[in-house]
Amino acid sequence: MAAKLKNAKPVELPKSFDELVRLLPPMAIRDDIQHDATVEMIDQLMGIENLSRGQSDYLETLVELVEAYEAKHDAIDTSGLTGVEMLKFILEQAGMSGADLARALSIHPTMGSKLLNRERRLTWDHAKILAARFKVDPALFMD
């Protein structure tokens, strides 16, 4: 598949890791310009239907570099939020209600709203169930 890098003619991306490294050496991302170039290469690789082993390894490397940069530079400060506030936010983003929360935790339907209204506290087991569902650290839900 032909790829088009910004301001460049469409090019066929190499299949080997070493050749891809010559195009864009994987290194710690230090600024938005490097970030943008790396994300652009990721996008190009993601557009290839059947990645070679080298392309796949290179893509995985770039994704890890972008994740590290974004975790450091785009992290959201949650230090002032309680576990219940985080839970409410996550439920809202997922379009879930208190009743949905209760179903997810396999508890009585009225308990979902009681948890959200701080009439009851989440247990560590509940936090682990929610963490697995939303792919976050269970400690996020605990005060």
pLDDT digits (tens, 9 = 90+) for 47-59: 999 999 999 999 9
* Third-level CATH fold of 83-141: 434 Repressor (Amino-terminal Domain) (1.10.260)
pLDDT digits (tens, 9 = 90+) for 129-141: 999 999 888 998 9
What sign does the CA torsion over 70, 72, 74, 79 have?
Answer: positive
> How many CA atoms are closer than 13 Å to the CA of 109, on its beta-carbon side?
1
pTM: 0.51
| CA pair distance 138, 134, nearest whole angstrom | 10
Given a contact cutoff of 8 angstroms between Cβ atoms, the answer to whether 63 and 73 are in contact is: no
Residues of the chain with CATH 1.10.260.40: 83-141
pLDDT band at 1 (very low <50, low <70, confident <90, very high): very low
